[in-house]
Amino acid sequence: MDNTIWNRWLSRLLLILGISIKELLLISERAETMKSFYVKNGCFYYKGKPFIKTSAYHGGDYIITLPEELVTTDKNLYLKAGFTSADFFAPWRRVRPSEDEWNLEPLRVLLRRARKMGITVFIHFYPNPPRWMVEKYDWYWITETGRRVPIDIVGGYPFDENYLREMEEYVKRLIGVGLEYEDALGDYWLCSENWPFLPSFKERKIYGTREDASYDDYTVSRFRDWLRRQFSLEELGIRWNMDKNTYSSW
């Protein structure tokens, strides 16, 4: 998904959450009034002191799995290393492994322990839907040869009101937990990487060789509309087949 489309959908999500772009900017401007983490004159502050974010990759998982009795001792290697923050990676499939199950306790554990350790937590949202949701709403890429590939494999986002509704719930649940421990919460990150070129897509034998483009109805219609604005049928025939009479209609 290109940045323009993603920004449009992010704007819609913010509106669903009751936050406009203007309000989001105002929240940023008011950040310096927050008790724990804020930005002032382009610098980070945490609990009133200048703050530089340092962390270990997946350090949050290390802290979560640490025995409780070691959290504030010198046997806590994360604390001993002097890191100032921990990242909580929250893939949708991890947070909501099934339709009737929410797995939010690991985040609560991390926030409680971060509070004891005197560090702050950054939550990373991953808006790629879990497989059970893909199957429920029929979210698939359609390849050139007509194969249906679950959208979570290729890292795409469906153009679907169900997606916005489900994502709203996912985001609200995580933010709700974060606000329970606001003094230990640094910030949120919305990760929107797309991975359609991952080797894993090619290596999954059930889907055969890799095909990087989707031929679903929405994508095809948008691409056709774009072509119609850029070229005539004769121009496309010459460009693609060296024959202006190749195509008789759109």
**For position 70, what pLDDT does the model report?**
92
Cα–Cα distance measured from residue 178 to residue 45, given in angstroms and rounded to the nearest whole number = 18
pLDDT level of residue 56 (50, 70, 90 thresholds):
confident
- Residue spans of the domains in the chain: they are 53-214, 216-250
Residues in the chain: 250
DSSP state of 129: P
Q: Which residue has the tokens 């169900």?
A: 162
**Who's near 250: CB < 8 A, 6+ residues apart?**
224, 228, 233
CA terminus-to-terminus distance, the chain: 24
Cα–Cα distance measured from residue 140 to residue 153, given in angstroms and rounded to the nearest whole number = 9
Structure tokens at 94: 């991890």
- Tell me the per-residue pLDDT of 224-235, one tens digit each, with 9 for 90 and over: 888 888 889 898
**For position 215, what pLDDT does the model report?**
65
**For position 204, what pLDDT does the model report?**
42
**E-assigned strands of the chain?**
37-40, 43-46, 49-50, 85-91, 120-126, 140-142, 148-150, 185-190
Per CATH, which fold does 53-214 belong to?
TIM Barrel (3.20.20)
Cα–Cα distance measured from residue 59 to residue 196, given in angstroms and rounded to the nearest whole number = 27
Contact 89, 59 (CB under 8 A): no
| Span 191-203, average pLDDT | 46
- Tell me the per-residue pLDDT of 132-175, one tens digit each, with 9 for 90 and over: 999 999 998 777 667 788 888 766 677 788 998 998 899 999 98
- Tell me the per-residue pLDDT of 72-124, one tens digit each, with 9 for 90 and over: 998 999 988 888 899 999 999 999 999 999 999 999 999 999 999 989 999 98
